[in-house]
Structure 1
Amino acid sequence: MESSVSQFRTMSLPLLDAEVLRTFVVIAECGSFTRAAKQIHRTPAALSMQIKRLEENIGRAVFLREPRHVRLTGEGEILLSYGRRLLKLNEEALQQFIAPAIAGSISFGTSDDIGTRILPGVLAQFARSFPAVQVDVVLTSSRESLARVDSGELDMALITVGNEGQEMRGEVVHTEPLVWAGREGGIAVQRSPLPLALANQGCVWRRTALDALDVAGIPFRIAYTCEHCAAQEAALLADLAVAPFPLSLVRPPLKKLDKEGLPELAKYQISLVRSASNPVTNALAGHIKEAFIGL
C-alpha cells in the first residue's frame, strides 16, 4: 500500500516544460527579460508569463527582479544547472531519432596535453550522440599528427600553433596564455643557469620559452627533454626544473611563476585540422569546439 502511494505521488509531480526551461536559461544568461525576448523573438510579457508558470510549478522564485536586470535566486541557480542538463539530454534524445544517421569511423590525432584536458569528456559525449561512429585516437606530437593528416593516416588532428614563420593550418579553436610553472615553494627557479623541462624540437612552447630567455639574457640549461607534458610535469613536481605550461594545466602543487623575474611568455593557439569535410568529421569537430568553450 505504501509503495502504491509513493508511486502515485511521483506520478502526480508536475513536469518541467522544455520550452519554458529554454526560456528560463536564456533569461538567466542574458540577465534581462528584454534582451532575452529579442533573442528568442517573443515579447517580455510572454516570457514573464512563462516564468510565472515555472515558479508556480516548483513553488519557488527563480529570479530577483531589479529595475534593469534580473538576478538568479539560490533556487534559480540550482534550476539553471538542471535546466541546462535537461535541455542537453533532450537534444541528445532527439538526435537519436530525427537527426540524420551518422555511422562510420574516424581517426583523430592529438598531443597528450590537449587530450587530457578535453578528450575524455568529448569522446563520452560524442559516443552518446553518435553511437554508430568508431573513434580511433592517436596521442603524438603536433608535428607528427599534422604529417599523418597530410599522408591520409589521420582524418583530423588538434595541433598547437604559434612558432614564428609556421604555416597556419586549420581552424583555431582555442587561444591560451603560456606561463612559467614550477613547484609551489620550490627552489628550481632560483638556480642559475635556470633548469628547464621542455618538449622536443619543434614544440611551440619550447621555442617561445627559449626565445624569451635569450631576449631577457637569463642563462639556462635544458635539464629534461621529453615528448609528453606528463613527463615535464613530473620534473616540476620533483622541483628539478621549471617549464612553459598552458595556464589551464597549472594545478597545485604546481604554481604560476609570476614574481620570480622570468620573462613573460606569449599566448599560443590550438588549431583543428581536417583532411576532409564530411558528416563524421563535422560532428566530432562540433563537439571539440564546444568543449574548448568551457575551458
Structure 2
Amino acid sequence: MAKRPITFDAEALRSFVAGIELGSFVLAADRLGRSTSAVSAQLKKLEQQAGTPLVQKSGRHLILTERGEVMLSYARRILRLNDEASAALLASPLNGSLNLGMQEDFGETLLPAILGTFTRAHPQVQLSASITRNQQLLEGIRHSEFDLTVSWQADDEPCFPTSQSLGHSALRWIGAEHFSLEHYLHSGEPLPLLVFEAPCLMRSAATAALDHAGIPWRIAFTSRSLSGIWAAMSAGLGITVRTDFGMPQTLRVLNQLPAPGEVGISLHQSQTQPGDAANCLKGAIMDFFAGHRLRSHDG
C-alpha cells in the first residue's frame, strides 16, 4: 500500500515563509498578528511534518538548512496557489477596467507575480498595463490616464495626495560576466557607461558616484528602453547602474566601484475616486514590495 502523502499545514507554511523573508520570526509574528510563541510552535509543527530541521542557528540568527531551502521554494508556491484560490472564491466579484503603468524594471517581476494572479482571480476586470519612463508615468497620473503607477521616486517629483512610498532599493553597478572592469580601473581609461537618455535618475547616480571618486567615464551607449541597455551590456559595451529588479541572470553585480546610493519606489494612484478593483490591485502591489524587504523611508 502506497504511503499517504503529508498534508502540510498552510498556516505553519505561512509563518515559516514570513519568518525567512523578514529575517526574524518575531517580525513574522507581528505581521501575521500572532504571538511569537505561536509562530515558534507552528515552525516546530512544520519541522515535525517534514521530518527534518528546516532552520538552524548561526550565531544569533536562524538560517535555512539544505532541506529548509527546498521547503521554502515549495511553501511559496503552495501559498501562492492557496491565496489565488481564496481571492477567486471568497472575494466579491470585481468588474470595470484598470490601467496600470510601470517602469520597465518591474515588468518581469510585477507582470507574472501580480497581474497574472489578479486577472485569473478577477476575470471581469479589464486590465491594461503599460511600460514607460518616469516622466510619462507621472504625467499619466496627473491627467488620470493611469489608475495606478509604480515608478522611481525622484527628488523633484510632484506630490500627489494619493501617492505613497513603497520603500527604497539599493542601486548596483551591473556588467557582463566577461567585462574587464579591472582593465579600466588600472589603465585609467574612461569607464564606458550604458544609460537611458537624459534626464534619468540612474544616469545621474552613476556619473555622480564616479565623479565623487575621481574615476573617469564616458557615455558609450544610450537607449530609450531597458532591454536595449541589457543587450548592449551582454555584448560587453559597458556597465550601468540599476536595481536588482529585472536584472538578467547572465549579468553580475560589480562591487569594486563606489556605491551609487539608493532609489525610492513610489506607488501613485489617480486622484479620481478609486473603485474596488483599483484598491484590490493596489493592495497586491503593496504586498509584493513588502515581500522584497525594501528599506522604509524612515530608515
Shared fold per TM-score greater than 0.5: yes
Task: Confirm whether residue 229 of structure 1 aligns to residue 226 of structure 2.
Answer: yes
Cα shift at 1:148: 1.0
Task: Confirm whether residue 96 of structure 1 aligns to residue 88 of structure 2.
Answer: yes
Cα shift at 1:74: 7.2
d(CA) in 1 for partners of 2:70, 2:223: 44
Equivalent residue for 2:295? none
Q: Is the 8 A contact 2:105 2:245 kept in 1?
A: no
Cα shift at 1:118: 2.4
Q: Matched residues, percent identical?
A: 28
Equivalent residue for 2:206? 209
The within-5 A match list for 1:90-129 is 90-129=82-121
Cα shift at 1:80: 5.9
Equivalent residue for 1:150? 142
Describe the superposition over 1:234-291 as per-residue Cα deviations: whole angstroms up to 9, x where unpaired. Answer: 22112222211213444454222222xx332010121110104331111112222233
Equivalent residue for 1:3? none
Greater relative contact order (Cα 8 A, min sep 6): structure 1 or 2? 2
Task: Confirm whether residue 26 of structure 1 aligns to residue 15 of structure 2.
Answer: yes
Worse overlay, 250-259 or 277-286: 250-259
Task: Confirm whether residue 269 of structure 1 aligns to residue 258 of structure 2.
Answer: no
Q: 1:172 and 1:263, CA in 2 relative to 1: closer, same or farther beyond 3 A? A: same
Cα shift at 1:109: 0.9
Equivalent residue for 2:124? 132
Worse overlay, 247-256 or 214-223: 247-256
Q: Is the 8 A contact 1:106 1:281 kept in 2?
A: yes
Which letter maps to 1:263? P
- The normalised TM-score by structure 1 is 0.74
Cα shift at 1:90: 3.8
Cα shift at 1:199: 0.8
5+ residue gaps, structure 2, are 293-299
Which letter maps to 1:178? L
Which letter maps to 1:266? G
Q: Report SS of the residue matched to 2:171.
A: strand
Describe the superposition over 1:93-128 as per-residue Cα deviations: whole angstroms up to 9, x where unpaired. Answer: 343343221111101111211212322221111112
Q: 1:166 and 1:25, CA in 2 relative to 1: closer, same or farther beyond 3 A? A: closer
Q: 1:75 and 1:144, CA in 2 relative to 1: closer, same or farther beyond 3 A? A: closer
Q: 1:90 and 1:231, CA in 2 relative to 1: closer, same or farther beyond 3 A? A: closer
Equivalent residue for 1:199? 196
d(CA) in 2 for partners of 1:225, 1:218: 20
Q: 1:90 and 1:212, CA in 2 relative to 1: closer, same or farther beyond 3 A? A: closer
Which letter maps to 1:130? H
Q: Is the 8 A contact 1:113 1:229 kept in 2?
A: yes
Cα shift at 1:177: 1.3
5+ residue gaps, structure 1, are 1-5
Q: 1:132 and 1:205, CA in 2 relative to 1: closer, same or farther beyond 3 A? A: same
Task: Confirm whether residue 61 of structure 1 aligns to residue 56 of structure 2.
Answer: no
Which letter maps to 1:171? Q
Which letter maps to 2:289? F
Task: Confirm whether residue 177 of structure 1 aligns to residue 170 of structure 2.
Answer: yes
Total equivalences in the alignment: 273
Worse overlay, 100-109 or 283-292: 283-292
d(CA) in 1 for partners of 2:261, 2:37: 46
CA RMSD of aligned residues (A): 4.0
d(CA) in 2 for partners of 1:263, 1:242: 13
d(CA) in 2 for partners of 1:252, 1:42: 37
Q: Report SS of the residue matched to 1:137.
A: strand
Q: 1:172 and 1:220, CA in 2 relative to 1: closer, same or farther beyond 3 A? A: same
Q: Report SS of the residue matched to 1:134.
A: strand
Which letter maps to 2:277? V
d(CA) in 2 for partners of 1:24, 1:79: 9
Question: Which has the greater radius of gyration?
Answer: 1
d(CA) in 2 for partners of 1:120, 1:201: 30
Q: Report SS of the residue matched to 1:247.
A: coil
